[in-house]
Amino acid sequence: MRSTILRELCAHRDEFVSGKQLAEKLGISRVAVWKHIEALKEEGYDILGISGRGYRIAGAYNVIIPEDIIESLSTSIIGRQLQVYRDVESTNRTARDLIREGKAGEGTVVVARRQSGGRGRRGRSWVSPPGGLWFSLINQPGLALQETALFSLVFAVGICRAIDKFLPGKAEIKWPNDIFLNGKKICGILLELSGELEQADYLISGIGINVNLQRSAFENEVRYTSTSLLEESGQYHELAAVLTAALTSLEHYYLLFMQEGFSPILDEFKSRCFHLGKNIRIAANNRILEGKSIDIDENGSLLLDTGFGIERLTTGDVALI
């Protein structure tokens, strides 16, 4: 019932929808409509009601209706189970809790409209107000830990392809998995792995895409280095459409990796990696190294020519010099 009301309000986002119209559509009384609207407001939807005119929703672009996503997806694994929350600390944390409670498994996706304690790589926080796409994907590929860690690069390529649908040919990668548009970060991926060396139990890929965020949403240190799809394309995008594109593309690359390994994906990774062949500074394992980033190998390591030899790095924070 509430999904139908949301759908109706989103379909008429620039106008008021009368209580009568909604009541007729749903086959319920106007008082019942009003009660559902109040409940939706409680859930955090920004709905304006004016007597004599009806109801209008603000932020329609950011509404995600799980049933609609599931219906629009043609994936076989990813997103078949989809949990959408209003407010969580971190979708990665919720995903882990759901796994422990036996309520989530291969392909489950956890989405939140807002995160109060969004986490980034290397212990950093991740600003997650409404308007961004904050989600975690659970996989249980049954591979060794080292191989499973490659999904960090595989999924970066997957997200670039999804972003291409909205801003073609612009998404680039900063190793290992930051996604950039016009020199600024638009998406980050935080991988959490659990299990034994020989076999990972599960993999949680936390993905944050700045979709409808205005520049003012970014806090101090990331204000000049982050961007959003809105800022780069000059228009709002439906979060639901971006989520559908992301899940579709992630499944494509997930299956490709499972069937053919990393090599067919590595070439695309390299072609999108904007710092290959350039001089970089990299902070890794309490060291800062400088040199030319010359290649990415089949294990996903970055090869850095320091002038004294070639360093093979498995993790780190890259900056162009």
> Tokens representing 75?
């994936």
Stretch of 32-40, 112-120, 193-201, 262-270 contacting ligand BTN, by CB under 6 A: 112-120
Stretch of 14-22, 184-192, 279-287, 291-299 contacting ligand BTN, by CB under 6 A: 184-192
Instruction: Pick between residue 9 and residue 186 the one whose CB is nearest to ligand BTN.
Output: 186
Stretch of 46-54, 116-124, 230-238, 253-261 contacting ligand BTN, by CB under 6 A: 116-124
**Residue 316 lies near ligand BTN (rule: CB under 6 A):** no
Alpha carbon distance 151, 20 (integer Å): 50
Binding mask 247-286 for ligand BTN (x = CB under 6 A): ----------------------------------------
Alpha carbon distance 147, 154 (integer Å): 11
Near ligand BTN by CB under 6 A: residue from 79, 188, 300, 316: 188
**Residue 53 lies near ligand BTN (rule: CB under 6 A):** no
Provide the b/e sequence for 125-164 (b: ≥16 CB within 10 Å): ebbbbbbbbbbbbbbbbebebebbbbbbbbbbbbbbbbbe
Q: What's the length of the chain?
A: 321
Name the DSSP letter for residue 34.
H
Report yes or no: 178 and 196 within 8 Å, Cβ to Cβ. Answer: no
**Residue 222 lies near ligand BTN (rule: CB under 6 A):** no
Near ligand BTN by CB under 6 A: residue from 37, 189, 239, 243: 189
Instruction: Pick between residue 135 and residue 257 the one whose CB is nearest to ligand BTN.
Output: 135
Sequence-separated contacts (24+) of 257-262 with Cβ below 8 Å: 257/150, 257/151, 257/154, 258/141, 262/150, 262/153, 262/154, 262/298, 262/300
Instruction: Pick between residue 17 and residue 181 the one whose CB is nearest to ligand BTN.
Output: 181
CB of 206 to ligand BTN, least distance (A): 3
Give the residue at shortest CB distance from ligand BTN: 188
Alpha carbon distance 157, 171 (integer Å): 9
Alpha helices in 83-199 (DSSP H): 91-100, 145-149, 151-164
CB of 95 to ligand BTN, least distance (A): 8
Q: Residues 80 to 99: which contact ligand BTN by CB under 6 A?
A: 90-92
Query: How many residues bind to ligand BTN according to rule CB under 6 A?
Result: 21
> What is the phi/psi pair of residue 85, to 5°?
-115, 155
First to last CA, the chain: 55
**Residue 134 lies near ligand BTN (rule: CB under 6 A):** yes
Q: Which residue from 110, 274, 128 is spatially nearest to 211, judged by alpha carbons?
A: 128
**Residue 136 lies near ligand BTN (rule: CB under 6 A):** yes
Instruction: Pick between residue 80 and residue 114 the one whose CB is nearest to ligand BTN.
Output: 114
Beta bridge partners of 293: 304
Residues that bind ligand BTN (CB under 6 A): 90-92, 115, 118-121, 124, 126, 128, 134-136, 178, 188-190, 206-208
